[in-house]
Every structure is written in C-alpha cells, then in structure tokens.
C-alpha cells in the first residue's frame, strides 16, 4: 500500500505541469498496457525506490476561479484529512497572493508534513525573489521549475524521506474497502454488516493518521474493514462532488486487498462508478461489484441477465469480476457478498506451482502458438508466476517483443479458465530467454 501525496494551490501556479512531470514516465507504460482512459489528476510515482500516489487536487475543481475560492478551504481540508503529505505550490511570478495566504493559514495548523514548493523559479533572479514566501509562515521552502525539472529532485528527496513505510498489518486477515458514489448505500451496508459496535474486535492504529483498519468478525469470517472511519466521518462533507468520492476512494483502495464496489441499481454503472472501478483495477485490487437497491428495480424475466450484461460491456476488457444483486434494506445477499469478497481475496494471493503451471499452459500454447512476425518464429519455452502480492505471470520466449496484446490476452484468459482468478486483475508479460 502506498502513501498518498496531495498537491494543493491556487489555479495556474503549475500544479498539473508538476504532476505530469512526476507521473509521465510510468503512466505511458501503464496506458500502453491497459489501454484505459487515464485520469489526469491521479497517478502513481516513485522516487528513490519509494512509491506513492499523487493527487492534483486542483484538477478536481469544476467551474470558474471564484468557485475555486469558495471550494479551496474544503479542498485543503480534505487533502489534510486524506493525504500523508501535502505539497503546497505557489508561483514566484505572481508573488504571494491573498489566496496563498488563506491556504497557508489552513496548512499552518496541520501536523502532517507540508512542503512549500515555489514554482516557476526558472533562473537565478527568481531564486532571489522566492524569499518573500517566508512570509507565509511555513518555514523552509523548495524552489523549482516544473517546466525544466530543476529543483524537483530536492523536493522529492525531502518528500519521500517523511512518507510512512508501507504499512504491514499484523494479521493476514483480508482487508475490504467499501467504495462507491455517495448514496449508493455504503454506510447502510457497513451497518448491516457490523450490526452494532459489538462486532468490532480491535482498532489497529495507523501511523500518521487515525485508524484505517477495523477488525470484524461476522458470518463466521474475520476481516478488516478499511477506512470505515472515513465513511463515518463523511457527514462533514455530504456534497455529491466527484472530487470527494475520488479522494475517499483513492485512500480506501490504496489500503485494501478487495474493493467492494457498491452501486445504486437505479443509477447504474455510470462514469463515476467506472472511474472507481478503474482505480481499483489499476491498483491491482480484488473487486466485487454489488448492485444495491435491487428492491427498487422493477423486475422482468431477464432483468438480472440484461443488467449484468450492460455492466460487463462497460468493464471491458477486465470482465472476470463477480457481480451480485443485493438489497441492503432487505438484508438480501449481504452474507453472500462477504463470502464472495473472501473468495476474491484468496484468488488474489493464489500461487500456482511452476511445474503445474507449465504442465497446463505449455500444451495450450503448443496448440495455439503466438503468430509469427516477419517470418520469425516465436517460441514460448516456459512460464512462472512471480512472488508478488497480486498475480503476475512471466512467459519466457526467444522474441518477447514480437508477442502482441491479443496473444497476451489469450494467455490471460486461459490462466483464468484453468486456475480461477475471478475478481482479480492480473499481469501477463513476456521475457527474453
């Protein structure tokens, strides 16, 4: 699980330029592999071997500048709540502005690491101009130029230094996060799940923030629920804004093994739900989809089948995901939902012994080898599952660069068929042998 870093600051200071610089190299690779549309405001980066998620909070501001002014307090507050560290970006060209002072005032009160990043310091003269930002009362600052990259290294050195180490819980219990749009029924689901507080076994304290995992024992299963504190806290921000649900989802998804994605049956698998689905997929988390409020849907013979088909079309190409139709209100299939999440969790950590993997996969490959390329013959010699927290398979062959996406997808589908990885994103890649 990675740490979360939020970039805050008023418009036009260079947040997205900086964000893009940090995530670009990796995103290009991820996009080429997955082919999914990319969220321009959330991405993964790493520095000195430490991985973290980066959120450009400004990217989620809708509307004009004066809307921004009203929203900025809430934005910064949420960043403070959800992130492990905050980069506060200002612009040396414009100097200290009133809006900068407002943000600084909020940030002076937090006990999380805050990095004041003075951007657009493209030359020595501007380096001297930067001193005026001491007036913000945030102490040391970092000068940088997001456009040419100078200074970003120093900032990142300091940043990764303070990020919490990947947090190991001291048990092997599955960690479930209940995610979805506002009003999907998440709180109701959790309440139905845990009944009263008496089902809580322990609270495991997070390092730099309040409790993340809460251990439950229910229906004969023990599991940790991730970030229920956040869900309980949500009365504070009830707005149906994409930013809030994305920010909350990011945090919960980062810290779980399986995402239980709830959607409101009367609203469907819409764009925002797809975005959350995609976040979970990109983070290689197990996924269970619960179509909630099924009691509200007028049913005909093929309702379930048709509804499910529509969702699966929207999930392409990752369609091997359980979809359950539930009603939290009527307590329908809630037990089944948890049971399914437990199964998905097991699939995610499943390890196939190399010998068995080859015994099954090599004959399949022999029957349908990768297509040749420019008269060259591609020969896959053996395969192995890597010892990673989620399924990754390496196929060794003479000409890995000639094996195309469709064939990798074929291999993935065969792996799914033979070994059952339902609900789990997997990676298949070719290596030179």
| Residues in binding site for GTP | 9-16, 56-60, 119-122, 180-187, 227-231, 292-295
- Closer to ligand GDP by Cβ: residue 185 or 391: 185
Closer by beta carbon to ligand GDP, 233 or else 431 = 233
* Phi, psi dihedral angles at 232 (to 5 degrees): -65, -30
For residue 31, give both structure tokens. 């996009």
CB of 184 to ligand GDP, least distance (A): 4
Which positions touch ligand GDP (CB under 6 A)? 9, 11-17, 58, 119-120, 122, 145-147, 180, 182-188, 292-293, 295-296, 327-329
φ, ψ dihedrals at 412, nearest 5° = -60, -45
- Shortest Å distance, C-beta 329 to ligand GDP: 3
Single out the residue of 331, 250, 318 nearest to residue 289, CA to CA. 318
User: How many CA atoms, within 13 angstroms, populate the side-chain half-sphere of residue 283?
Assistant: 29
Rounded CA-CA distance 88/282 in Å is 27
Supply the minimum distance, in Å, between the C-beta of residue 252 and ligand GDP.
12
Token digits of residue 149: 């990259």
Q: Measured from the CB of residue 295, what is the shortest distance to ligand GDP in angstroms? A: 5
Q: Which is nearer to ligand GDP, 119 or 347 (CB)?
A: 119
User: Shortest distance, CB of residue 276 to ligand GDP, whole angstroms?
Assistant: 12
| Nearest CA among 36, 40, 38, 45 for reference residue 57 | 40
Shortest Å, Cβ 227 to ligand GDP? 12
Q: How far is residue 330 CA from its own chain's centroid?
A: 31
Q: How many CB atoms lie within 10 A of CB 299?
A: 11
Q: Could you give the strand order of the β-sheet that contains 392-397, starting from the edge strand earlier in sequence?
A: 380-385, 392-397, 427-432
Looking at beta carbons only, is 327 or 347 nearer to ligand GDP?
A: 327
Residues 274, 315: Cα–Cα separation, whole Å: 8
Residue ranges at the known binding site: 9-16, 56-60, 119-122, 180-187, 227-231, 292-295
By beta-carbon proximity to ligand GDP, the closer residue of 228 and 347 is: 228
Residues across the chain: 433
Our CB check for ligand GDP shows the closer of 43 and 180 to be 180
| Separation of CA 180 from chain center | 13
């Amino acid at each position: 699980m990675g740490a979360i870093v939020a970039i805050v600051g008023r418009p036009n200071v260079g947040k997205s330029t900086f964000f893009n610089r940090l995530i670009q190299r990796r995103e290009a690779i991820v996009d080429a592999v997955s082919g999914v549309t990319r969220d321009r405001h959330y991405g993964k980066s790493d520095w000195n071997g430490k991985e973290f998620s980066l959120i450009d909070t400004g990217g989620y501001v809708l509307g004009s500048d004066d809307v921004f002014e009203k929203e900025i307090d809430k934005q910064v507050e949420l960043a403070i709540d959800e992130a492990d560290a905050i980069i506060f970006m200002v612009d040396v060209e414009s100097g200290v502005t009133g809006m900068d002072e407002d943000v600084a005032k909020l940030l002076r009160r937090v006990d999380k690491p805050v990095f004041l990043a003075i951007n657009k310091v493209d030359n020595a003269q501007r380096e001297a101009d930067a001193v005026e930002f001491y007036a913000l009362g945030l102490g040391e600052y970092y000068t940088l130029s997001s456009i040419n990259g100078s200074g970003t290294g120093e900032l990142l050195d300091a940043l990764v230094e303070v990020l919490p180490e990947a947090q190991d819980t001291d048990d092997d219990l599955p960690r479930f996060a209940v995610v979805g749009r506002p009003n999907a029924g998440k709180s109701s689901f959790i309440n139905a799940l845990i009944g009263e507080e008496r089902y809580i076994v322990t609270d495991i304290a997070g390092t730099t923030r309040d409790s993340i995992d809460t251990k439950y024992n229910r229906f004969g299963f023990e599991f940790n629920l991730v970030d229920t504190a956040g869900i309980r806290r949500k009365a504070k921000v009830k707005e149906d804004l994409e930013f809030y649900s994305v920010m909350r989802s990011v945090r919960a998804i980062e810290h779980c093994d399986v995402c239980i994605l709830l959607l409101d049956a009367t609203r469907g698998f819409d764009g925002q739900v797809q975005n959350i689905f995609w976040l979970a997929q990109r983070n290689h988390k197990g996924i269970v989809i619960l179509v909630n409020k099924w009691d509200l849907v007028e049913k005909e013979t093929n309702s379930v089948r048709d509804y499910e088909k529509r969702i699966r079309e929207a999930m392409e190409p990752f369609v091997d995901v359980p979809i359950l139709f539930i009603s939290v209100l009527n307590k329908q299939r809630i037990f089944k939902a948890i049971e399914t999440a437990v199964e998905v969790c097991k699939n995610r950590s499943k390890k196939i012994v190399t010998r068995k993997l080859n015994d099954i996969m090599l004959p399949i490959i022999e029957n349908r080898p990768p297509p040749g390329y420019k008269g060259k013959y591609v020969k896959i010699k053996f395969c192995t599952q890597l010892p990673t927290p989620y399924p990754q398979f390496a196929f060794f062959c003479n000409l890995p660069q000639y094996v195309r996406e469709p064939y990798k997808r074929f291999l993935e589908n065969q792996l799914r068929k033979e070994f059952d990885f339902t609900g789990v994103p997997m990676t298949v890649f070719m290596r030179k042998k």
